[in-house]
Amino acid sequence: MSIALSRRRLIGTLGAGLLVSGCDSWSRSGRVQALLGSAEDLTMGTQRLITGEATLGREFGPAEMSPVFRMNGNRTADTPEYRRMLANGFADFRLVVDGLVRRPLAIPLDRLRELPSRSQITRHDCVEGWSAIGQWRGTSLALLLDAAGVLDQARYIVFHCADSFGSTPYYESVDMVDARHPQTILAWEMNGRPLPEGHGAPLRARIERQLGYKHAKFVMRVEAVASLDRIYGGRGGYWEDVGVYAWYAGI
Amino acid sequence: MDDDPLITADGPITAPRAGDVVKRHRLSTRLWHWINVVAVVILLMSGLSIFNAHPRLYWGEYGANADAPWLQIGGEGDRGFLQIGDARIATTGALGRWTDENGRTSTRAFPSWATIPGYYSLALGRLWHFFFAWVLVIGGLAYWLTSFLNRHVQRDLAPSRAELAPRHLWHEIKQHARLRFPGGAAALRYNILQKLSYLLVLFVLLPLIVLTGLTMSPNMDAAWPWLLDMFGGRQSARSIHFIAAWLLVGFVIVHVVMVALAGPVNELRSMITGRFRLPGEREEAPAQ
């Protein structure tokens, strides 16, 4: 019995050691990452199958809001251009809507605030595991896409942002299902006040059925594209390009 | 009927005796078992990787750094700690602050030997976790379906009224505590403690861990908002997911200890080749 037990322990130790070192070298292999990443398609396909296109994420009451809404990602966009816009209250900021559209737009922030808006108290889920509940008000992205006349061949909406990590600009993208979702807004108000710098002023995308890194901050430009291949690293977002984060962040 | 564990592959139906080699586990059972071994180990270790990204647990819908966690693993200076409620346990070297096999010291919750990958990468941890979550879920659903259809659940796992009688339960607990296991043909049937623990894992713990995992998905919360009501919010679900994972580890430890005590070679062989040698009746231990 003791021989069997010690043999078991030996096998167990060897097995665990092999597993760990195996998983590490496999983790670095592009082929293994692609294989493991194939589950993302299965996850997205399954989730889309059981979720109505317009099904809303849960909305909460004011009493359920987080006392402190944690800031994450870049707290500012550290460029002279952004500092100047911030200093004059984004008076000369123009949100650009272009790409595969009939009528490219350049909309001042004041004009955006005058358009019909939507307010929602939702839970923000970070990929790290924490959550915070806050209130957001902003302009429906679908409204802007319709105003610009998105062409049929457009399949994705890309958010170009003013912030960057080092010299790599932040960006994100969603497909048309999430772009046209009723809760997808470009928020200019948070918790009843103008969107603060740390949370992405002047505009932050709210993609309520996906994780926080999809909610691009400091949005300057919205571009309709047919493919993500030629946008920056080609994987559809900053974290998708530099890490191996999933483009579909519904889980 | 070659899948009936009580009947040998050939020959007339006679009650098997101690020493006989009989068919024990079907191929599908054996495959499922070993796939689960791989999946559960990878899910646990990649899960610890994901936990390391935010090593704090909360109850309710929200929870982030400004909110009070009920459990936290952290490092302060050169000390590591595990805090549960107000109780703080020093864990330097094991949790929160530890040195890896290359001599590098890190301030992270779970040490590199316990995580997949062994270096910090939330994105890769998630890749491993979600791939093997599908393996566990697809295998588990297939097992559920076939085990009801071939009546494995009803015949081998469902406890009888007599087995659930307090006297019988107490007797079995005493027999287990004395490490007296059934021999002969009785060793082919699950005893009541086995039945209850397998049922608990199959129909409580595994569904719980899958559903709490899904509750952490913002899209699933939109599709199935009852998940949030069932578990009391996303952060509660994350806490229950963590607890359920350790309960599963507890089951695996007891399971492996029981296999070791019941005769590891014979038990392992039965789960690899399907063949099991019936153990002899145990001699009564001398009275205490």
Contact B9, B2 (CB under 8 A): yes
Q: In what order do the strands lie in the sheet with A105-108?
A: A105-108, A94-99, A219-225, A156-165, A168-175
Contact A223, A167 (CB under 8 A): no
- At residue B284, the pLDDT reads 43
Domain boundaries, chain A: 2-45, 57-242
ipTM given for this complex: 0.91
Size of interface A-B (CB pairs under 8 A): 159
Q: Which of A1, A11, A20 to mutate to test the interface with B (most CBs of B within 10 A)?
A: A20
Lowest mean pLDDT: which of A43-52, B119-128, B148-157, B228-237?
B148-157
Lowest mean pLDDT: which of A19-28, A202-211, B238-247?
A19-28
* Residue A170 pLDDT exceeds 50: yes
pLDDT tens, A61-85? 999 999 999 999 999 999 999 999 9
Report how far apart, in Å, the C-alpha atoms of A148 and of each of A110, A190, A226, A236, B218 are: 18, 26, 16, 22, 29
A126 neighbourhood in chain B, CB within 8 Å: 54, 64
* Residue A12 pLDDT exceeds 90: no
Q: Which of A7, A23, A127 to mutate to test the interface with B (most CBs of B within 10 A)?
A: A23
- At residue A233, the pLDDT reads 96
Q: Cβ contact (<8 Å) for B264 and A8? A: yes
For the four alpha carbons of B84, B90, B94 and B99, in that order, the dihedral sign comes to: positive
- At residue A101, the pLDDT reads 98
Res. B17 pLDDT band, cuts 50 70 90: confident
Domain A57-242 class? alpha beta
* Residue B207 pLDDT exceeds 90: yes
Mean pLDDT, residues A200-206 taken together: 98
Q: Is residue A33 less than 8 Å (CB to CB) from chain B?
A: yes
Res. A23 pLDDT band, cuts 50 70 90: confident
A209 neighbourhood in chain B, CB within 8 Å: 218-219, 222
B76's tokens: 């302060």
H-assigned helices in A149-232: 176-179
* Residue B193 pLDDT exceeds 80: yes
B192's tokens: 């009541």
Q: Which residues contact A36 (CB under 8 A, 6 or more apart)?
A: B127, B128, B130, B131
Q: Cβ contact (<8 Å) for A66 and B127? A: no
CA distance A39 to A116: 39
B127 neighbourhood in chain A, CB within 8 Å: 27, 33, 36-37, 39, 244, 246
- At residue B180, the pLDDT reads 85
B164's tokens: 């659930």
User: Which domains are delineated in chain B?
Assistant: 21-54+119-277 (1.20.950.20), 56-109 (no CATH)
